[in-house]
A and B are shown apart, each in its own frame.
Chain A
Amino acid sequence: MDTNQPALSVRDIHKQFGNTEVLRGVSFEAHSGDVVSIIGSSGSGKSTLLRCINFLESPNSGEIVVGGEAIRTRKDKTGSLVPVDKAQLRQMRARLGMVFQNFNLWDHRTVMDNIIEGPVHILKQSKKQAKEQARALLDKVGLFDKEDHYPSQLSGGQQQRVAIARALAMNPTVMLFDEPTSALDPELVSEVITVIRQLAEEKRTMIMVTHEMALAREISSKLIFLDQGLIHTQGSPAEVMDNPDSDRLRQFLGMLNAA
């Protein structure tokens, strides 16, 4: 792979729900080791954008390229892009580790089973190897003693840390975080942030939709302000946050400070 090749290219993504255009042509790139944070008020389309990257939502047009390989698509009758080759989409998804707002751990499986599910059944690793790796990851997120617990026995912060370990277990090219701390009680936010910060220090490539401005400022190499389905401003955190170049951005940042 060409080292100058972006780890992820998002090209001109459009997405419509009914008559509402949620995304109106969004493009950006993330190189290996980049942390891209996407901010914006609710309804700006930032979660939809993230979900379009791994096709949990089908964009209406545009292209997603992971590590130089584009997800091959065609238009269906409704005007959405659908994958031409489902097997290719599955391979691409396996390279995009997703962490959800609501954790979405599988309730019926233990912590260990949640983590090794992908490695064993998608990547076809041996169970033994997958478990060893899972234990290392649990250690990393500070939950070494919880492998036999069920999700319902864990706090929200612990569940989210397991969900991060589950995504990491696939050894993904890019990690996608969809508001990873916004479903958590305030006192549980920091334990998840600690893990995310650690991943940034390890130079993991990450795309993160978030409301945690302090975290975004600290770890991001690039900040994207999404407004009404378009990238309004992008740049380094300092550029975007310290010198807001428009009323909308000032308004958004002011709202966060007031909150």
Chain B
Amino acid sequence: MNDFVTNIVNCLPDLLAAAPLTLLLTLVAGVIGLVVGTFLALARLSGQPLLSLPAAAFMFVVRGTPLLVQLYLIYYGLGQYLGHSWVRQSFLWPYMREGLTFALFAYSMNQAAYNAEVLRGALQSISKGQIEAAQAIGMSGFQTLWRVRLPLAFGNCLPVLTSDIIILLKSTALASTVTILELMGTARVIQRQSLQVYEPLIACGLVYFVVVVLLTALMRPLENRLTRYRKG
């Protein structure tokens, strides 16, 4: 039993060193996903078939297929095609060959699709009156969007967006399957090197648990501040 605990503790330094990469994946994909997701939601609601149909199709396909398959498709599939194309000659190739770039791309697109669905609902749920009030004082379409519709939509769906960030954080574990040594990947390397089966996984679980609890605790005050207008 003592050995067991010691083994777990011994895993922690390497895992803690890998935690920043997990957070980096979460942060970058979270931000890109939110920006792209906003544009997707707007395209989806634009009423222009040329914009709304591709947006709807993208959202449906991404949300209807496993993230792990998307990761493989982008990491192996895109890598296969780009590797044969002009991209290979470009100065970007050394960066792109890295699994991290592909993973970030996959996670960003996945997060964008889920965020877009949430934002679509939030944008639709805004009362028409508040939009009309903006039009009635002479706001342009863009002003109405930027100053009224988007702030209200984000306020409405903030709890879902923050819980989607936690889901994203957890799903970054899958990146270990495309050679990325974030938390999960590092745990599996330790598994192989130490020939211990349980301890690295349990240690890894402890680190995830702490990160998830901390991140949730960090987002709560942010959520409260951004939606303080709703407290009566």
* Contact residues in A for B129 (Cβ distance below 8 Å): 100, 102-104
- Would you list which residues of chain B between 129 and 159 have a CB under 8 Å from chain A? 129-130, 132-140, 143, 147-148, 151-152, 155
Instruction: Decide if A107 touches B137 in the complex (CB within 8 Å).
Output: no
Instruction: Decide if B232 touches A98 in the complex (CB within 8 Å).
Output: no
Instruction: Decide if A122 touches B136 in the complex (CB within 8 Å).
Output: no
- Once bound together, how far apart are the Cα atoms of A21 and B9, in whole Å? 78
Whether a CB of chain B sits under 8 angstroms from the CB of A179 is no
Whether a CB of chain B sits under 8 angstroms from the CB of A56 is yes
Instruction: Decide if A100 touches B133 in the complex (CB within 8 Å).
Output: yes
The number of chain B residues touching the other chain, given as a range, is 20 to 34
Known contacts: A121-B143, A152-B231. The answer to whether A106 contacts B138 by CB under 8 A is no
Whether a CB of chain B sits under 8 angstroms from the CB of A252 is no
Contact with A along B149-192 (1 / 0, CB 8 A): 00110010000000000000000000000000000000000000
Instruction: Decide if A104 touches B127 in the complex (CB within 8 Å).
Output: yes
Q: Which of A29-37, A87-95, A138-146, A228-236 contacts B (4 or more CB under 8 A)?
A: A87-95
Known contacts: A93-B136, A117-B147. The answer to whether A153 contacts B130 by CB under 8 A is no
Instruction: Decide if A100 touches B132 in the complex (CB within 8 Å).
Output: yes
* Contact residues in A for B230 (Cβ distance below 8 Å): 107, 150, 152
Whether a CB of chain B sits under 8 angstroms from the CB of A118 is yes
- Once bound together, how far apart are the Cα atoms of A92 and B136, in whole Å? 9
* Contact residues in A for B231 (Cβ distance below 8 Å): 150, 152-153
Contact among B133, B143, B151 with A98 in the assembled complex (CB-CB below 8 Å): B133
Contact with B along A65-101 (1 / 0, CB 8 A): 0000000000000000000001000111110111010
Interface of B is mostly: helix
Instruction: Decide if A104 touches B130 in the complex (CB within 8 Å).
Output: yes
Contact among B133, B135, B136, B139 with A105 in the assembled complex (CB-CB below 8 Å): B133
Whether a CB of chain A sits under 8 angstroms from the CB of B229 is yes
Known contacts: A104-B127, A106-B148. The answer to whether A96 contacts B143 by CB under 8 A is no
Known contacts: A86-B140, A100-B129. The answer to whether A107 contacts B135 by CB under 8 A is no
Known contacts: A121-B143, A152-B229, A152-B232. The answer to whether A107 contacts B138 by CB under 8 A is no
- Once bound together, how far apart are the Cα atoms of A104 and B140, in whole Å? 17
Contact among B132, B143, B152 with A108 in the assembled complex (CB-CB below 8 Å): B152
Q: Which residues of B contact A (CB under 8 A)?
A: 127, 129-130, 132-140, 143, 147-148, 151-152, 155, 228-232
Q: A93-B135, A106-B133, A150-B229 are in contact. List 11 more A-B contacts (CB 8 A).
A: A56-B132, A93-B136, A93-B137, A93-B138, A100-B129, A104-B129, A107-B229, A109-B229, A117-B137, A118-B138, A122-B138
